[in-house]
Amino acid sequence: MRRRIAAFVGPCWYLAVLGEAHRLIDYIRQSDKDLSEALDLDEDLWISRIVCQDHWYLSQISNMPIEATEGMDVFHIQPPQTIHKIIASTDQIGVRWIQFLDRETTPTQDQSPWYEIYDVENFEPRLWVVHGRVIIKRIEIDNDEATRLLPSTWTSPNTPIFHPLQNICCPCHLQEAKFHHMKLGPQVEGILVVRAGAYDIVGIHNFSGRNKAFWEFLEQVHARRRPRTDPSLYWFYFPLNDQEDILMVWNRQLKHPDGRTNFDGLVVQTSFGRDMTFGAVYPPAFTRNSIYRPMVRYTDGPVSGIIHNGMDLRFRSMTVFGVTCHSPHDGETRARVPVRYASGPPGAHPGEDLVPWYMTKATLRGVTRVQVCRDRTQSHHPCLGILMFYADGHIESNGQIRWDYGLDEEICSPFVVASGTVNEKDTIKDIRNAEDPVVATVHRGEWKPLPSQGILTWWFSELGDRLAFYYE
Q: Which residue has the higher pLDDT, 79 or 147?
A: 79
Residue 399 sits in the same domain as residue 433: yes
- Highest mean pLDDT out of 76-85, 130-139, 255-264: 76-85
Region 293-302 average pLDDT: 85
What average pLDDT does the chain have? 81
Looking at the fold, whether 129 and 203 belong to one and the same domain comes out as no
pLDDT value, residue 392: 93
How far is it, in rounded angstroms, from Cα 200 to Cα 279?
9
Mean pLDDT of 15-37: 48
Q: Are residues 393 and 275 in the same domain?
A: no
Is residue 5 assigned to a domain?
no
142 and 45 in a common domain: yes
212 in any annotated domain: yes
CATH code: domain of residue 234: 2.100.10.30
Angle made by CA atoms 218, 222, 224, in degrees to the nearest 5: 125
Query: Both 323 and 408 in a single domain?
Result: no
Q: How do residues 64-111 score in pLDDT, each as one tens digit?
A: 998 888 888 999 999 998 999 999 999 888 999 999 999 989 899 888
Least confident of 52-61, 81-90, 139-148, 222-231: 222-231
Query: What is the count of structural domains for the chain?
Result: 3
Asked if residue 263 belongs to a domain, the reply is yes
Looking at the structure, tell me whether residues 323 and 450 fall in a common domain. no
End position of a domain, from candidates 313, 331, 349: 331
Model pLDDT, residue 330 = 55
351 part of a folded domain = no
**Domain final residue, candidates 315, 331, 347:** 331
Say what the pLDDT of residue 1 is.
Answer: 47
Indicate if the pLDDT at residue 129 is higher than 70: yes
Percent of the chain with pLDDT over 70: 79
Lowest mean pLDDT among 150-154, 257-261, 283-287: 283-287
92 domain-assigned: yes
Q: Are residues 101 and 189 in the same domain?
A: no
For residue 447, the enclosing domain spans: 358-470
Same domain, 132 and 225: no
**Do 115 and 244 sit in the same domain of this protein?**
no
In a domain, 166, yes or no: no
HEC string of 19-76 equals: HHHHHHHHHHHHCCCCCCCCECCCCCEEEEEEEECCEEEEEEEECCCCCCCCCEEEEE
What number of CA atoms fall less than 13 Å from residue 237's CA on the CB side? Answer: 25
Q: Tens of pLDDT along 351-384?
A: 666 788 899 999 999 999 999 999 988 888 999 9
Same-domain check for residues 327 and 367 = no
pLDDT band at 319 (very low <50, low <70, confident <90, very high): confident
Same domain, 193 and 324: yes
Rounded to whole angstroms, how far apart are CA atoms 321 and 310? 9
Q: Is residue 337 part of a domain?
A: no
Residue 375 lies in a domain: yes
- pLDDT for 437 equals 78
**Same domain, yes or no: 145 and 29:** yes
Domain boundary among 122, 154, 186: 154
- Strands (E) located in 66-177: 72-77, 85-90, 95-101, 114-119, 126-131, 136-142, 152-154
Mean pLDDT of 280-299: 76
